[in-house]
A = this chain, B = another copy of it.
Amino acid sequence: MDTELLRELATPNTTKIVLCVVDGLGGLPDPVTKRSELEQANTPNLDRLADDSVTGMTLPVAYGVTPGSGPGHLALFGYDPLKYEVGRGVLEALGIDFDLQASDLAARGNFCTLDSEGRITDRRAGRVATEKTIELCKRLNEIKLPGVEVIVEPVREHRFVLVLRGEGLEDGLTQTDPERENVPPPPVRATQPTAQTSADLANAFIVQARELIKDEPQANGLLLRGFAKYPNWPQMPEVSQMRAGAFAVYPMYRGLAKLVGMTVAPGGGTQDSQLEALKSRWDEFDFFFYHFKKADAAGEDGDFDAKVHALEDFDHLVPLLRDLGADVLMIAGDHSTPSQMAGHSWHPVPFLLWSTMGTTDAVDEFTEAACRTGALGTFPAKEVLSLAMAHAGRLMKFGA
């Protein structure tokens, strides 16, 4: 259901919901063995949990759409990912744990190499070392612009984040990356009149920045794209009437949780320490988001066996997740990452929902093929939150 209906139907309760996101959970059958990573993996705890649960397949965004981490997670948090879009600049900032504020305008930056005529000869500046980028960002942080603060944060290799902080900044700016070489980077243009001041500031930043790095052998230019403001979205705790806490090792996922208003526990550590943290704060929240990264990383590496092992590692956590004593426990994925594709994919993702209601279906293993026959069918990932709240007695009847 959409956010407005959810706000209307949500009602408080004392029940607790745990959403466990196994990043890149879904996979495809190996052409030889005909078994997917989940089918190959030895996952007795997941299979037992599936036996006690209702199951199905989530469609992350739409048929054939491969989601990035942003849309994949936002859907599972109950936000229509086609309506609630996160700009690349904001995502890049979230990915380095940068504490974005509501008025910030963020962009993703690349250092590049320019020739004497100002034409791009290398859009990635030879993938300059991260240390060099750190040094250059320090220099760029000295730039002064009228009325706004300039913050430049290094990411990795040639990448950085530019944040302009101040009142009245607007997105709706074009990128300066022409996405080809042998042409000069175009200036930033405003796509709406209210963004003209922001465009002028961005161009003033570029002029000063070029002057500061013009003598660099490789990184003597820069490209900006994905200008985006920190979005002002309905906040999950208010809409759902649930105190929500996020537990994730990596910054990107904490950042996404923060966007929807969750309280974000400190990151880092291990999967186990994040689970311990969740346990220790059990009384503070009604809704818990717990993120497990390793399956996606192995899939992205194209390493079938590593993904199998990652899923087996996750299986060891399942008894601990059950022991939390939630009223609703869900195992979901933000998207599939089939190791044969070495990247995200559009394929629906196995899903299970265990609840104290005790409802089950005939599915007794947690695999793509089995979940496809589950009672929940194949359904939009953005409905996961509604289903969880229904099973937790947190939604009122619609209409009389």
- A positions within 8 Å CB-CB of B: 1, 5, 9, 28-29, 31, 57, 61-71, 81-82, 85-86, 88, 91-92, 226, 344-346, 357-362, 368-369, 372-373, 375, 377-380, 383, 385-391, 395-400
Contacts and interface: CB of A to CB of B under 8 A. Distances in A.
Q: Of A88, A359, A391, A397, which is in contact with the most chain B CB atoms at under 10 Å from its CB?
A: A397
Instruction: Please give the count of copies of this chain that the complex contains.
Output: 2
Given A5-B82, A69-B399, 4 more contacts: A67-B397, A85-B399, A91-B400, A345-B390
A245 B391 CA distance: 37
Contacts of A57: 377
A46 to B, nearest CB: 20
A385 B85 CA distance: 23
B1 A395 contact: no
Given A64-B389, A86-B399, A399-B67, A372 B375 contact: yes
A31 B81 contact: no
Given A359-B29, A362-B369, A375-B372, A68 B397 contact: yes
Contact of A395 (B64, B91, B226, B390): B64
B64 A386 contact: yes
A64 B344 contact: no
Contact of A65 (B62, B372, B386): B386
A352 to B, nearest CB: 15
